[in-house]
Amino acid sequence: MVFFVYHMVSYRTSMQIVADLLTTTEQSGQEGIKTTSLLTKANLSHSRLGKFIENLTGAGLINRIEFDGKNTFVITPKGRQYLESYKKFSEISESFGLEL
């Protein structure tokens, strides 16, 4: 008799990835976070991170600061507001047994 054990792989939604990126950027403070650190902490490939960064900077949720050819990212007040709203909505969703 053979038994198979299936591990449920949970994939993050785009909303969860955005929240992770904003949280990581916020935790880095005013000095911001460099691309490599953001890649590692957010657990994304370089190409996927690039797409999210484009969206986040375009929406005014983070700022890109370029210095000596290297990028540093800092969360904006609008980004903090988005993150706060996301957390509240996430808590409400969970209280109804839903996952975002």
> What does the pLDDT look like over 25-59, one tens digit per residue?
999 999 999 999 999 998 999 999 999 999 999 99
Residue 5's pLDDT band (boundaries 50, 70, 90)? low
CA-CA distance, 89 to 12, in Å (whole number)? 16
Q: What is the pLDDT of residues 52-99, one digit of tens each?
A: 999 999 999 999 999 888 999 999 999 999 999 999 999 999 999 987
Reply yes or no on domain 14-95 having CATH 1.10.3720.10: no
What residue segments make up the domains of the chain, in order of their start? 14-95
Please tell me the least confidently modeled range out of 5-9, 10-14, 27-31.
5-9
Dihedral sign, Cα of residue 43, residue 81, residue 10, residue 49: negative
> Half-sphere exposure (CA, 13 Å, Cβ side) for 55?
13
23 and 34 Cβ atoms separated by less than 8 Å = no
Residue 6: per-residue pLDDT: 52
CA-CA distance, 92 to 56, in Å (whole number)? 24
